[in-house]
Structure 1
Amino acid sequence: MHKIKLAIVDDHKILREGIKASLINKIDIDIVFEAENGEDFLEKLKYQIIDVVLLDIKMPKIDGIEVLKTIKNLDSDIKVIILTMFDTESYVLKLMDLKANGYLLKNSDPQEIYNAIKNSVDFGYYFPDFVKNLLLKRTVSQKKINPKNNENLIEFTQKEVDIIRLISEQKTSAQIGKEMFLSPRTIDGIKAKLIERTKVDNTIGLIVYCYKHGILL
């Protein structure tokens, strides 16, 4: 079994200890290291391989926003889940624009923290309902394309639309395959082709593309 390699970055030791305690019985997660600020994290990252980082934003020396930018500029596959107390619209959307893979409030319960880590690896993202609603609200408000009049709009089969909708519901390839009577490998192949056709980076981009163009309503 592949263990998810996790780093926890927060300047409050008590919060780091709380997260570690909540994950101690999760046999599929390996907490590789923790750090108390962005500088400490980036130094440790030179010598350790991780899959996911739970990242605080407000920290001394190098803050979480700069760390997020650095990770994305590395072109790595590290999933960044923001860990914060702030849930204002402008704050959330700014972090989403910086391509954060997930967003958690610091008062999230242990199960949600675990779900966020798992889903960020399985799907590439994890957003609680309030974040998804903000993203959808912005997508709809910025919608400038009329699909009926757009000659360059990519056409999808009903099967593809159904798969995209199930992806947006954060279902795994195995779960989607079961509903669609297809193998998980076939679903993964369809996902990859859809991402390539729409010229987006990942499944988040695919879902946003479909909302923006009226394919998902």
Structure 2
Amino acid sequence: MEKEKIKVLIADDHSLFRKGLEQLLELEEDIEVVGEASNGKEVVEKTLQLNPDVILMDINMPVQNGIYAIKELKERGCQAKVIVLTVHDDREYLLEAVRIGASGYIMKDADVDHLLKAIRDVYRGETYIQPNLSGKLIKDFDKMSYHSVRKQFEQHNLTPREIEVLLLIADGKNNKEIANELYISEKTVKNHVSNIFKKPDVSDRTQAAIYVFKNHLK
């Protein structure tokens, strides 16, 4: 039985870039490019028509930019996962894209391996931020307080201590730093981290930070 392929829609206003990316992706046995779009309005139309699994979305496009296209797709209830593929490494673009529902963010000059991993990760329901960009997201968490988010985490049955640990993870602190700040052992921190990753269904520290941001940072 033939393995089901990941259906990808490429959205970019440069034809040569779209064609080059299509040729690259078609070399992968588990990926199929089902269509192209040259502006944000066309992205929405093609998504409704072709039902892709993953959309590679440029930000700067005519008629309607990528950010507005993502918003419209979410408002229409489209289930396609969006990876922002852009030249912009600005923190504001990254934060806005994650806030409105993008599942991935990667630069156009990234290695092919990063792009392929991003496509496969978001297809599985994970979030992918290019590794050297994740720090831009985590910086926002030093403004968060335990009391401001405690009630919002109760739905995941996190204990008060796990909430404290999660916020410190999101602040970019390692286990040793968390242990020192909370006056507990590193082993205890590791146990809390293991429990946290099971409850919000995230698998690493960057995804934990993204999870907090997407659900609770206003």
Query: TM-score scaled to structure 1, two decimals?
Result: 0.70
- Looking at structure 1, the residues matched to 212 and 202 of structure 2 have their Cα atoms a distance apart, in angstroms, of 14
Instruction: State the secondary structure of the residue aligned to 2:134.
Output: helix
1:138 alignment counterpart: 140
Q: CA deviation at 1:62?
A: 1.4
1:138/1:24 CA distance change after superposition, 3 Å:
same
Q: CA deviation at 1:94?
A: 1.9
**Of residues 191, 195, 201 in structure 2, which corresponds to 1:160?**
195
Give deviations 1:70-114, integer Å, cap 9, x for gaps. Answer: 111122321111111111122221222222111111111221111
Instruction: State the secondary structure of the residue aligned to 1:92.
Output: helix
- Looking at structure 1, the residues matched to 104 and 82 of structure 2 have their Cα atoms a distance apart, in angstroms, of 6
- Contact kept? 2:104, 2:122, Cα under 8 Å: yes
Alignment of structure 1 residues 92-107 onto 2, 5 Å: 92-107=94-109
Instruction: State the secondary structure of the residue aligned to 1:118.
Output: helix
- Looking at structure 2, the residues matched to 207 and 66 of structure 1 have their Cα atoms a distance apart, in angstroms, of 22
- Looking at structure 1, the residues matched to 82 and 43 of structure 2 have their Cα atoms a distance apart, in angstroms, of 13
- Contact kept? 2:82, 2:102, Cα under 8 Å: yes
Q: CA deviation at 1:26?
A: 0.7
RMSD between aligned residues:
3.1
Q: CA deviation at 1:42?
A: 2.0
1:43/1:32 CA distance change after superposition, 3 Å:
same
- Looking at structure 2, the residues matched to 39 and 167 of structure 1 have their Cα atoms a distance apart, in angstroms, of 35
- Looking at structure 2, the residues matched to 42 and 4 of structure 1 have their Cα atoms a distance apart, in angstroms, of 19
1:162/1:40 CA distance change after superposition, 3 Å:
closer
Moved more, 155-164 or 123-132: 155-164
- Structure 2: which amino acid aligns with 1:161? I
- Structure 2: which amino acid aligns with 1:160? N
- Contact kept? 2:12, 2:38, Cα under 8 Å: yes
- Looking at structure 1, the residues matched to 89 and 118 of structure 2 have their Cα atoms a distance apart, in angstroms, of 16
Q: CA deviation at 1:166?
A: 6.6
- Structure 1: which amino acid aligns with 2:87? M
1:67/1:167 CA distance change after superposition, 3 Å:
same
Q: CA deviation at 1:34?
A: 0.7
Give deviations 1:181-207, integer Å, cap 9, x for gaps. Answer: xxxxxxxxxxxxxxxxxxxxxx76884
Alignment length (residue pairs): 178
- Looking at structure 2, the residues matched to 208 and 96 of structure 1 have their Cα atoms a distance apart, in angstroms, of 11
Q: CA deviation at 1:165?
A: 8.9
Instruction: State the secondary structure of the residue aligned to 2:128.
Output: coil
Give deviations 1:44-66, integer Å, cap 9, x for gaps. Answer: 22321111000011111111111
Percent same amino acid at aligned positions? 28
1:206/1:138 CA distance change after superposition, 3 Å:
closer
Query: TM-score scaled to structure 2, two decimals?
Result: 0.70
Moved more, 40-49 or 96-105: 40-49
**Structure ranking higher in helix proportion:** 2
Q: CA deviation at 1:116?
A: 0.7
1:69 alignment counterpart: 71
- Structure 1: which amino acid aligns with 2:212? V
